[in-house]
Amino acid sequence: MSAGTKVILEGDWVSGASVEDERFIGFVDSVSAGSGLVKVWVTQSDRAEGVGDLVEASLAKVKKLPDQEASAPDELQGLIELALQTHDRAWFEELTTRLNAQKASTPGPAAGGPKRRGTNRVYRLID
């Protein structure tokens, strides 16, 4: 293995081409170093029908994507949905804890000031 090659592990985000030569982005389900194959859950593909499928690809045709930490609430919501779809309870709990911590640190209405009730444009002030 050359110095620039990154080791691909289960759970890593990767891009590459399947054995059917379809381009994809997804996360690694399993790696079989002996056969040189990796199984990837596809989240984006040049073939729309391939999204959500588990595909096989050669390790030589897969590249690890850089690690990124989701921080925006909408990014966390998207990852929470993915964790639910993949039945990954630990990841779901980690993401919801981070989202709830963000919500708790977001300032609400000023203390002692009027509070709005409801979500439409007609609301009532509460003393």
Shared domain check, 20 and 42: yes
Instruction: State the Cα angle at 101 between 124 and 77, rounded to 5°.
Output: 85
How is residue 49 written in tokens? 């029908």
Whether 17 and 59 map to the same domain: the answer is: yes
Across the beta sheet with 23-32, the strand order is 54-58, 37-45, 23-32, 13-17, 62-64
| pLDDT tier, 48 (very low <50, low <70, confident <90, very high otherwise) | confident
Condensed to tens digits (0 to 9), the pLDDT of residues 63-108 reads 998 877 777 888 889 889 888 988 889 989 999 999 999 888 876 5
| 111 within a domain of the structure (yes/no) | no
The boundaries of the domain holding residue 31 are 13-64
Rounded to an integer, the average pLDDT of 16-32 is 89
- For residues 41-60, average pLDDT: 87
Ranges of beta strands (E only) in 1-127 are: 13-17, 23-32, 37-45, 54-58, 62-64, 115-116, 125-126
Write the CA distances from 74 to 44, 45, 71, 113, 126, integer angstroms: 18, 22, 8, 29, 30
- 3 state SS of 65: coil
- If asked whether residues 30 and 55 sit together in one domain, one would say yes
Q: Is residue 18 part of a domain?
A: yes
- Output the pLDDT for position 126: 52
2 inside domain: no
Domain presence at residue 125? no
Do 54 and 23 lie in one domain? The reply is: yes
Question: Residue 119: is its pLDDT beyond 70?
Answer: no
Same domain, 54 and 17: yes
28 and 53: one domain?
yes
- The mean pLDDT value of the chain amounts to 80
Residue 8 falls inside a structural domain: no
Q: pTM, whole model, 2 decimals?
A: 0.55
Domain count, the chain: 2
| Residues 25 and 48 grouped into a single domain | yes
Domain-located, residue 118: no
122 in a structural domain? no
pLDDT score of 104:
86
Residue type, 90: A
